[in-house]
A and B are shown apart, each in its own frame.
Chain A
Amino acid sequence: MVNDPQGLVVTDALHSLGYPEVLGTRVGKYIRLELAADLESTAAKRVDEMCRRLLCNGVIEDYSFEIAAGMS
């Protein structure tokens, strides 16, 4: 697994605040996309492609996404 120095610092901070149960932290990114699509399956296919091509660097990052309808 790729070393995440930000996660290590956050773990230390949580320990010092009295949360010894925290075994590990990983800091990542949350990206919210708004898109026009008729079908959820079409949206999923397109978003997956966007993740692979731009939003995520497969060398160092993993991704997952959820699709929710009717935001606008």
Chain B
Amino acid sequence: MAFRFGIAVFPGTWSDRDCAHAVGLTGAEAVFLWHADKELKGADCVILPGGFAHGDYLRAGAIARFAPLMEAVAEHARGGGLVLGICNGFQILCEAGLLPGALLRNRDLQFRCQDTTLLVEPTDSPFLATIASGSRLRIPISHGEGRYFADPATLAGLERGHQVALRYCSPDGDLDDAHNPNGSLSHIAGIVNEAGNVLGMMPHPERVCEPLLGSEDGLRLFGSVTTGLAAAGR
């Protein structure tokens, strides 16, 4: 049976179709999951895509986290099921408490839509199973509120547990301020939960899955999910 991605759709989600297209390129199946339903339709991995769920009213992700679908997503995550939050999806995961910390307004208060280089850290997660640590991925960001923040104790815990999966870096892999596009704490672009089955990231891998679009690095990430799980015998 084909690996199945369930792609959440909230009012205001706009990256759902792009994610379905990207997933299709890996040979996996994509089904859409409506926010008001509690049904994951047998998805192996749930994607919370980018967009402005519920208009980002109050705070990005604050309303979406109470959607009926999120109860099922939380249960899926607690049972070790895979969950990938991209951009707005990352914000929703933080609001839902499935990942620690929060995403704040960008340091320069500007909406940033640009290519970024990401350093892959030695994180134990199916999402990075086939991508060597130290690799660099070229994946764009597109957000106004992506500055990762957590209190010092939480940050220390993330670092100690190798839960920081992706960091913004220079094309050569240096962690310098000029290549931290939003002022994120410790250059954080993506983190996983303690078990590694939930990944939240601000950059958009679904936008770089074909040579025509300048990079196929996003496809490596989606491909890692399917092959990584097969390798783990799940």
Q: Which residues of A contact B (CB under 8 A)?
A: 2-3, 5-6, 9, 54-55, 57, 59-60
**What 19 additional pairs, Cβ within 8 angstroms, besides A3-B183, A57-B102?**
A3-B104, A3-B107, A5-B105, A5-B106, A5-B107, A5-B108, A5-B183, A6-B105, A6-B109, A9-B109, A54-B66, A57-B59, A59-B100, A59-B101, A59-B102, A59-B150, A60-B102, A60-B104, A60-B149
Q: Which of A2, A9, A54 contacts B62 (CB 8 A)?
A: A54
Q: Which residues of B contact A (CB under 8 A)?
A: 58-59, 62, 66, 94-95, 100-102, 104-109, 149-151, 183
Cross-chain pair count, CB within 8 angstroms: 33
Q: Dominant SS at the B interface?
A: loop
In the complex, the answer to whether A2 meets B149 with C-beta atoms within 8 Å is: yes
Q: Which of B105, B109, B149, B183 contacts A59 (CB 8 A)?
A: B149
Cβ contacts under 8 Å, B66 to chain A: 54
With CB as the reference atom, state the residue of chain B lying closest to A2: B149
In the complex, the answer to whether B58 meets A54 with C-beta atoms within 8 Å is: yes
Cβ contacts under 8 Å, B107 to chain A: 3, 5
A39 to chain B, nearest CB (A): 27
